[in-house]
Structure 1
Amino acid sequence: MSHFSDINLNKQLQNAVSDLELTKQTPIQEKTFSEILSGTDIVGIAQTGTGKTIAYCLPLLQELSYSDQKNPRILILVPTRELVVQVVETMESLTEYISCRIVGVYGGTNINTQKIKLQDGADVVVATPGRLYDLALCRALQLKGIKKLVIDEVDVMLDLGFRFQLINIFELLPERRQNIMFSATMTEEVDELISSFFSRSKRVQIALSGTPLDNISQIKYSVPNYYTKVNLLVHILRNKEELKKVLVFVSSKKIADRLFEALEEFFISDIAVIHSNKSQNYRFKSIKKYDEGTCRILIATDIIARGMDLDKISHVINFDTPIYPENYMHRIGRTGRAEEKGKSLLFYTEKEEKNKEFIEDLMNYKIPVSEIPEEVEITQQLTEEERKSNGKNFYRNVKKV
């Protein structure tokens, strides 16, 4: 692993990197820096939390010269508003000693405000696909000067249904450009997009998607139902000394809200929830509180969490077992960053057992079992969904007899 001081960064970027206290490159940064700098089309595959944003920002800024032209030369597409904000913040930190105009645009806010920002000119535009396309169609943003296109978290983009918007955007861009894509997983959809539009791209993969980080310890709990999961979670979260900053993952927006209501009476201002149905202002405030440490527990869905760059998470709790085993890897990759120790807890019911087995097969690792503490109430109370599911199973068994 090489140091940032060993690579050929200009003095201004070296100073910014030093201010950020970045010393060693991560594997994805080391393997892609020279490739991006050389102008090669590249697809980087690396787990969440491996430094992908810095991996593309540094070489792009190294090559970016001063210009007073109004039209942007670098376009960075990301799937969520939160990720636009994170990438803009990273870019602004790296350009502390460089004259560089960076504009972030996303939906859910007044488009006229963004039009005014763009009128002043931009070197780099960071955008969600929908809002970018709207701005391009109304001619508030000219894309003819784009020399570098970055598509970050491309797997999440496709999960969110942005394929159509991406293809429309490609048609507005000049053919002669460098294409840089980053993804946490190589799904069939991602592979098909690359084959169709970026067939000459060089692929750089850092570790398999099923490779857990060595500094993350994992345990699992077999739990009979939702409300027992809640009781177990309350018991675990009461240990404030050990669980200093906790990210709780759930499978849906509905469960996120339901769990927040159940936990709020125990933890009051110590807990927040975010998902795509929450207003932008609410989401930003929740993330800020969590990031600054005034809120210890954050409940999040998989997709929205992929747009966040959060540090010093002590524990990731998988309240639901994800259907796709790769999502488990993204979840637990939120803890144990920057060589710190992290811990992952997995709750699974009988219905989720197969999903748990798929995760263990992917990792080639059996997660150690932990018993539910005696003081945790194992309740027979079921959610409406669990009652319906049990009824269907009972009916199937009767038919078999």
Structure 2
Amino acid sequence: MASFQDFPISKQLQYALDDLGFTIPTPIQVQAFPVVASGKDVIGISQTGTGKTLAYMLPLLQNLSYSKQINPRILVLVPTRELVVQVVEEIEKFTKYQNVRTVGVFGGVNLNRHKEAVAQGADIIVATPGRLYDLVISRALQLKSVKKVVIDEVDVMLDLGFRFQLVNIFELLPERRQHIMFSATMTEEIDELIQDFFRGTTTISIASSGTPLDNITQYCYRVQNFYTKVNLLGHLLQDKNEYTKVLVFVDNKRNADRVFDALDGQFVNDVSVIHSNKTQNYRLRSIEEFEQGEHRILVTTDIMARGLDLDKISHVININTPAFAENYMHRIGRTGRAEQPGTSILMFTRKEIEAKEAIETLMDMQIEKLAFPEEVEISTQLLPSERTRIKERDNPHKRNEDEVGASFHEKKAKNQKTNKGGSYRRKVKEKYKKPKTKGDKNFNRRKKK
């Protein structure tokens, strides 16, 4: 199929695609459409940024007829709140000329609000597993009419500990249903889930998770420590013409705040930060401001590495080298989307060399190393994890572990006795050859006579 014009879809869907400017389908969209439309269980293995949402929604929407019933017929499960919001927005764009009711539910919002929303009726429910399970067990939502179940980014769901909710949701669904699962990686845990619930599956694999997108240029810098990385980051971001829309990945929430504090003083009103400690409204507002160009730089943890579709990100900068090589692939997949060029920059310390080499082994390529700029200051400030532990070699007040101190001495003879129990118990045991208990008082008394 050379274009979407060749897809057997309704005029309403075709008009929506034209409005969005979608003309040429991606490989995953081409291969997934006939299989999903046939009603078979599907497992799609494809990199992030290859158009998976449209790949599964286009055939589902084509076969979704108009209905006034309250209970949903399509269920889409995603791992994060931001993904729920994004998928709902995408579906609303695809159904611009159709009468399709889509409701998104996720944690961090009052449950009663979502109870009211689903009570109005929905054709498609997009949800995180935890919130969906809450709605089902509270009987605010019934799944008896669900015929199509989409599990997007399933590997992230399992990493976040959603297996319990997923299994319970599967057991509450009608027995006759179609499963559509998309993931960037395939793990043993995912395979177990497939074996338990899927039937006659068709696997569509476009590219392995270690295959980098051809339109992403990759560079790396060898850096002394964390705060020197921050200095290098600030130096690079000064070029506003080159670094037009930058996503900065940091390994944890505390370091994300540290990077934000440093950049916020240098680039006032041009930086935002999101991580799981931020409120839902703050996170959604930060993403919206970044997407609309109000902020040029967004600092985040791996919460943003999967699924979210942000347009025209010029650079992805990794402050830390991910411990798992595949996480690096998910991070850089935020740029170079929809055939657009993108650039990835990796910063690594001496301790992170092994992790960097694991990434290069996975990709089967070497990341081009750039010279560290001379004008960037080498910071002497260290994180607690970077500081060397001081060993007091010649401290006269610190004894060795095997050394016996002055307070340890031989016990006196009276204290060397072992506890053999009370004298009463010993005498009774000697006389009657066994301990005396309440149950044998009469027996012992008769024996004595």
TM over 0.5: yes
Question: Structure 2 counterpart of 1:17, which letter?
Answer: L
Q: Distance in 2 between matches of 1:311 and 1:247?
A: 11
Q: Is 1:228 aligned with 2:223?
A: no
Q: Distance in 1 between matches of 2:391 and 2:30?
A: 52
Aligned to 2:191: 191
Instruction: Classify 1:380/1:195 alpha carbon distance in 2 versus 1 (closer, same or farther; 3 Å).
Output: same
TM-score, L = length of structure 2: 0.85
TM-superposed CA distance for 1:303, in Å, is 2.7
Instruction: Flag structure 1 segments of 5+ consecutive residues without an equivalent.
Output: 396-401
Instruction: Classify 1:102/1:317 alpha carbon distance in 2 versus 1 (closer, same or farther; 3 Å).
Output: same
Question: Structure 1 counterpart of 2:389, which letter?
Answer: G
Once the two structures are superposed, what CA deviation does each residue of 1:345-371 show, in whole Å capped at 9, x if it has no partner? 000011111110000001110111101
Aligned to 1:81: 81
TM-superposed CA distance for 1:381, in Å, is 2.2
Aligned to 1:40: 40
Q: Is the 8 A contact 1:2 1:30 kept in 2?
A: no
Instruction: Classify 1:298/1:394 alpha carbon distance in 2 versus 1 (closer, same or farther; 3 Å).
Output: farther
Cα root mean square deviation, aligned: 1.5
Greater fraction helix: 1
Equivalent runs, 1:84-163 vs 2, <5 Å: 84-163=84-163
Number of residue equivalences: 393
Q: Is 1:237 aligned with 2:273?
A: no
Q: Distance in 2 between matches of 1:23 and 1:112?
A: 41
TM-score, L = length of structure 1: 0.96
- Secondary structure in 2 aligned to 1:189? helix
Q: Is 1:327 aligned with 2:295?
A: no
Q: Is the 8 A contact 1:80 1:304 kept in 2?
A: no
Aligned to 1:292: 292
Q: Is the 8 A contact 1:234 1:263 kept in 2?
A: yes
- Secondary structure in 2 aligned to 1:165? helix
Match of 2:389 among 388, 391, 397: 391
TM-superposed CA distance for 1:201, in Å, is 1.8
Q: Distance in 1 between matches of 2:210 and 2:172?
A: 37
Q: Distance in 1 between matches of 2:136 and 2:144?
A: 10
- Secondary structure in 2 aligned to 1:269? coil
Instruction: Flag structure 2 segments of 5+ consecutive residues without an equivalent.
Output: 394-449
Q: Is the 8 A contact 1:83 1:307 kept in 2?
A: yes
Question: Structure 2 counterpart of 1:231, which letter?
Answer: N
Aligned to 1:258: 258
Q: Distance in 2 between matches of 1:245 and 1:293?
A: 8
Once the two structures are superposed, what CA deviation does each residue of 1:303-352 show, in whole Å capped at 9, x if it has no partner? 34424210100000011101111111111111111221111000001111
Aligned to 1:352: 352
Q: Distance in 2 between matches of 1:107 and 1:305?
A: 19
Instruction: Classify 1:326/1:393 alpha carbon distance in 2 versus 1 (closer, same or farther; 3 Å).
Output: farther
Once the two structures are superposed, what CA deviation does each residue of 1:68-89 show, in whole Å capped at 9, x if it has no partner? 1111000000011100011100
TM-superposed CA distance for 1:199, in Å, is 5.2
Question: Structure 2 counterpart of 1:356, which letter?
Answer: K
Q: Which has the higher contact order (CA 8 A, sep 6+)?
A: 1
TM-superposed CA distance for 1:197, in Å, is 2.2
TM-superposed CA distance for 1:392, in Å, is 8.5
Q: Distance in 2 between matches of 1:189 and 1:127?
A: 21
Q: Distance in 2 between matches of 1:209 and 1:127?
A: 25
Q: Is 1:278 aligned with 2:278?
A: yes
> Highest CA radius of gyration, 1 or 2?
2
Q: Distance in 2 between matches of 1:9 and 1:77?
A: 24
- Secondary structure in 2 aligned to 1:161? coil
Q: Distance in 1 between matches of 2:114 and 2:228?
A: 47
TM-superposed CA distance for 1:213, in Å, is 1.2
Aligned to 2:368: 368
Equivalent runs, 1:208-227 vs 2, <5 Å: 208-227=208-227
- Secondary structure in 2 aligned to 1:268? coil
Instruction: Classify 1:42/1:240 alpha carbon distance in 2 versus 1 (closer, same or farther; 3 Å).
Output: same
Question: Structure 2 counterpart of 1:209, which letter?
Answer: S
Once the two structures are superposed, what CA deviation does each residue of 1:107-137 show, in whole Å capped at 9, x if it has no partner? 1111111111111111100001111001011
Aligned to 1:164: 164
Once the two structures are superposed, what CA deviation does each residue of 1:143-183 show, in whole Å capped at 9, x if it has no partner? 00000000001011011110001001011100100000000
Equivalent runs, 1:9-88 vs 2, <5 Å: 9-88=9-88
Q: Distance in 2 between matches of 1:76 and 1:345?
A: 34
Instruction: Classify 1:369/1:198 alpha carbon distance in 2 versus 1 (closer, same or farther; 3 Å).
Output: same
Q: Is the 8 A contact 2:305 2:330 kept in 1?
A: no
Aligned to 1:398: none
Deviates more, 1:87-96 or 1:110-119: 110-119
Once the two structures are superposed, what CA deviation does each residue of 1:33-87 show, in whole Å capped at 9, x if it has no partner? 0000000100101111110001111100000001111110000000111000111
Deviates more, 1:244-253 or 1:376-385: 376-385
TM-superposed CA distance for 1:393, in Å, is 11
Question: Structure 1 counterpart of 2:223, which letter?
Answer: V
Q: Distance in 2 between matches of 1:394 and 1:183?
A: 51
Deviates more, 1:113-122 or 1:301-310: 301-310
Question: Structure 2 counterpart of 1:193, which letter?
Answer: L
